[in-house]
Structure 1
Amino acid sequence: MIELNEEQIDKKGYKLHIVNSKKFKTVHITAKFRCLLKRETVTKRALLPFVLQQGTKRYTTSNAFRRALDDLYGAVLSMDGTKKGEQHILTARMTIANQNYLSDQHNILTDGLNLFKEALFAPNVINNRFDPKVVEREKQTLKQKIAAIVDDKMHYANMRMIDEMCKEEPYHLHVHGYPDDLERITAEELYSYYQSVISEDPLDLYVLGDFESIDIKKLIGNLFDRDLSKHLDLDISSETPVVNEVKDIIEEQELQQGKLHFGYRTHTKYADKDYPALQVFNAIFGGFPSSKLFINVREKNSLAYYAASRFESHKGLLFVFSGIAPTDYDRAKAIILEQMEAMREGQFTEAQIDEAKRLIINQYKETLDDPFGMTEVLYNQQLADSSRSVSEFIDAVESVNHQAIVQMANKIELDTTYFLTAKGGQSNA
């Protein structure tokens, strides 16, 4: 059985997570800064990773910065932003060769850690601002990314559904920001916001690799120490709204394929005891190609180009996605709702439960075969204040029974349906 050998150390201004693993011949460094989702900061925070990757104080251009990475045996560095529940997570990742597997005696890991630190804490700044040309260029890059989301109608439909479903909750905020806010951001303003991030945000630093002959604690030392200007207490225990009435939203655009999406409240989050039951429920309902949604909506009735479900484990939401002909709205909606009703009535077999468990455990093990997947599993535990080990999670999934899945199905509430359809409700084909 795979177990994650993690040691947590409270350092000055951050938490260090050392994950000793002989599984990989590379070292993987991940820094995660978090804050609450807020409209006034979400676009600046979305822009930051784009700007920070364009150079540092020492390597002032993106070309020079990339050459410095190449010189470290082709080290790779990336940054992005995501949301988990109502928190906006900024992540920086670096992959670097492990010194143990190189003939070069030069300490590449020390150089890698220093470059990673520089990318985070010593960006290219002139006169208390980022390079205005870089900021303007990266604003255009982010603007194009936001536009691409609008063009991806499946992604757009889910975004719009969350807009409506979570209208009064921070979770509705777009993690890539808003074009109108983007236009107004200056190089000075972005640098000022960056300073608040590195001096206030809770930071978790993960180093993962084979450290048997490397004193990783000594190498890190006080390299990433921070003097926090204030301690942010991130209270994320927001109340789940009561669903008094299902919201039905229909929006029309020039398109050929309709997007029918459903948003449910699961009332179950990552650390909850019945979270494994949610996993098995979703696997049978819509999580895999053998699920009820795929078989009954797509295969048997030929109503959908795709039909699937997934859940958000830090917010307690379940989403159903389907792509249908605009004229099939009523029939597709009825059959999708029937699948949820079938789950509530326990219309699934022991063979389906066993297959669902096998698929979940295989997928989980595949995640742990990836170093950054491993880090995500550990960070999810950190965010949820959960200490469920790999074996405990697998055992919990294995122990989910028919009754627990039925109880989960009856706990889940439909909140919103959203249909993105062709103008006039007919296909433009």
Structure 2
Amino acid sequence: MNELQESYARAGGLHVHLLKTDKYKTNTLMLMVKAPLEKETVAKRALLANVLQNSTAKSPTRSDLRNRLDDLYGATLATDVQKKGEQHIITIRLDVANEEFLSDSTPLFEKGLSLLAEVLLEPKVSGNKFDEAVVKSEKRSLLERIESLYDDKMRYSSLRVTEEMCKDEPFGLSVYGTREQVEQLSAEELYRYYEQMLHSDRIDLFVLGEKGDPSLMSTVEDTFSKLATYQKEAKTDSVPASIPSPEVKEAREVIEKQDVKQGKLNIGFRAYTTYGDPDYVAMQVMNGLFGGFSHSKLFINVREKESLAYYAASRFESHKGLLIVMSGIEFTNYEKAVTIIKEQLEEMKNGRFTDKELEQTRAMLKNQLLETADVPRGQIEVMYHNIVSNHERTLEKWLAEIDAITKEQVVAAANKVVLDTIYFLKGEEQA
């Protein structure tokens, strides 16, 4: 496998990562803006991501900005927010065609880079506040997204179990904030926070594609020179991805009633293992065997053999050290489903899985990782794990670690897992 070569430097107030490859017909530019996940700022950051992609000072309407993207041979611009552990990340991504494949000599990349800098550094403002109409429009969009989480009961229950587990930890916060927080934000307050963000956040720029060459550094420095004046105050020291998980004194049961036709049973465990720990990959493999794939214990025993669940799976939160089981069940199957899910974890702790199952899990994990890294955004996300965790793990090393995991290591990882919270969303008529 050819390992992607990275060139890194500080330029224009940015941490710049240049990743040269001729694999794609586009150049992908991603700004990753990182700060601690906090109750006071979570809604501001979510709304800010929306506002920045709406317009700029030079393109004051959404249609103006879209027209400029169209002029760049259909370049795409998107923003998003996500949490990695207890870090809140604003992502601004621009994909632009590689002009090497075009008949004319338009400097698409340089224009795309300038537009990306403009989106970050030259938003549409009026005095010392964002444009009122833009903020009002994007607040409405964000509120609709928050409402959609409530309407999608599978996603809602996943959010609720982490809220209950981590109610005294930042990880319990929704990545979008609450409806009340969003509604209370003003254009002035949001602009003040935006300026604070430019001064204090760590900002990484990834350039992946034919243009990801070290010679690009001077161009980046010139294009983002305005940011350098802000970033003199930025804290560039290492910030932990999460606070350590507390010891579980006693598992909790939370039952919520709504007008639903299918019960949502989500069970949260503390894994006490995160991306930077020596046994991280062993925990990944353990989760794969437990509930991560179609041959896992949860899928085979809870869904297939016992027919207790419409779906049954688990996911591992890499930067927080949580293992979450998700299932959809009939209301009357609650006690039996909880019992069998607990039994599957005990099977893992006692090493009751075959060498063939372990080998299959290794293969599927590697394939999943390679599929993720096969697209530009996925490749960048894989590399960004290192920045969030302050732990260096290349894709090549990651794959080798998966291959080397033994049954004993998987069993040891399973024995670290502790039940924290059982969350069940059931129908009101079953109260």
Query: With structure 1 as the length reference, what TM-score do the two structures score?
Result: 0.96
**CA-to-aligned-CA distance 1:38-71 (integer Å, 9 cap, x gap):** 1111111111111111110100000000000000
Q: 1:245-394 alignment to 2 at 5 Å? A: 245-394=250-399
> In the alignment, which residue of structure 2 is the partner of 1:238?
243
1:164 positional shift: 1.2
| Aligned twin of 1:411 | 416
5 Å-filtered alignment, 1:15-414, equals 15-211=15-211, 215-225=215-225, 226-227=228-229, 228=231, 230-232=233-235, 234-236=239-241, 238-414=243-419
Shift of residue 237, structure 1, vs aligned partner = 5.2
CA displacement 1:197-229 (0-9 Å, x = unmatched) = 122111011001023889422432332242225
Alpha-carbon distance between aligned partners in 1 of 2:149 and 2:50, rounded to the nearest angstrom: 17
The letter of the residue matching 1:102 is L
Q: Given that residues 47 and 138 in structure 1 are in contact (C-alpha distance below 8 angstroms), is that contact kept between their aligned partners in structure 2? A: yes
| Per-residue CA distance 1:154-212 (angstroms, 9 max, x = gap) | 11112111111101111111111111111111111111111111221110110010238
**Counterpart amino acid of residue 332 in structure 2:** T
Partner of residue 3, structure 1? 3
**CA–CA distance in 2 between the matches of 1:101 and 1:198?**
36
Superposed CA offset, 1:382-404 (max 9, x none): 11122222221111101111111
What letter matches 1:231 in structure 2? Answer: A
Given that 1:266 and 1:413 are in contact with CA atoms closer than 8 Å, whether structure 2 keeps it comes out as yes
Letter in 1 for 2:388: L
Q: Take 1:61 and 1:191, find their aligned partners in 2: how far apart are those partners?
A: 18
In the TM superposition, residue 365 of structure 1 has moved relative to its aligned partner by: 0.7
Secondary structure (helix, strand or coil) at the match of 1:277 reads helix
In 2, Cα distance between equivalents of 1:192 and 1:385: 29
Give the AA of the match of 1:389.
T
After superposition, the C-alpha distances for 1:255-314 in whole angstroms (9 at most, x for unaligned) are 110010111111111121111111111111100111110111111111101000001111
Aligned counterparts of 1:27 and 1:58: Cα–Cα separation in 2: 23
The answer as to whether partners of 1:2 and 1:390 remain within 8 angstroms in 2 is no
C-alpha separation in 2, matches of 1:99 and 1:137: 35
Alpha-carbon distance in 1 for matches of 2:387, 2:99: 29
| Equivalent residue letter for 2:164 | E
Q: Which amino acid aligns with 2:219?
A: L
- When the two structures are superposed, what TM-score results if normalisation uses the length of structure 2? 0.96
Q: Which amino acid aligns with 1:251?
A: E
d(CA) in 1 for partners of 2:14 and 2:364?
36
CA distance in 2, matches of 1:183, 1:367: 36
- Cα distance between partner residues in 2 of 1:237 and 1:44: 20
Q: Deviations over 1:7-43 (max 9, x none)?
A: 1112242210001112111100000111111111111
Residue identity matched to 1:41: T
SS of equivalent residue, structure 2 residue 41: helix
In the aligned structure 2, how far is the partner of 1:366 from the partner of 1:374?
A: 9
**Matched position secondary structure for 1:238:** coil
RMSD (Å) for aligned C-alpha atoms: 1.4
Task: After superposing the two structures, state which structure 1 stretch, 209-218 or 391-400, moved more.
Answer: 209-218
Q: Equivalents in 2 of 1:35, 1:218: separation in Å?
A: 26
Residues 253 and 423 in structure 2, CA contact (< 8 A), matched pair in contact too: yes
> Cα distance, 1:230 vs. partner?
2.3
State the number of aligned residues.
Answer: 426
Cα drift, residue 418 of structure 1: 0.5
Q: Any idea what the Cα deviations from partners look like across 1:295-345, whole Å, max 9, x if unmatched?
A: 111111111010000011111111000000011101111111110010001
Mapped partners of 1:293, 1:425: distance in 2? 25
Percent sequence identity is 43
* 316 and 50 in structure 1: CA distance in 2 versus 1, 3 angstrom threshold: same
Structure 2 stretches of 5 or more lacking a match? Answer: none
**Range with bigger deviation, 269-278 or 320-329:** 269-278
Structure 1 residue runs without a partner (length 5+) = none
CA distance in 2, matches of 1:160, 1:400: 33
Query: Residues of 1 paired with 2:297 and 2:263: CA distance?
Result: 20
Whole-Å separation in 2 of the counterparts to 1:287 and 1:212: 35
Which is further off, 11-20 or 317-326? 11-20
Q: What secondary structure does 2:425 align onto?
A: strand
Question: Distance in 2 between the 1:292 and 1:214 partners?
Answer: 47
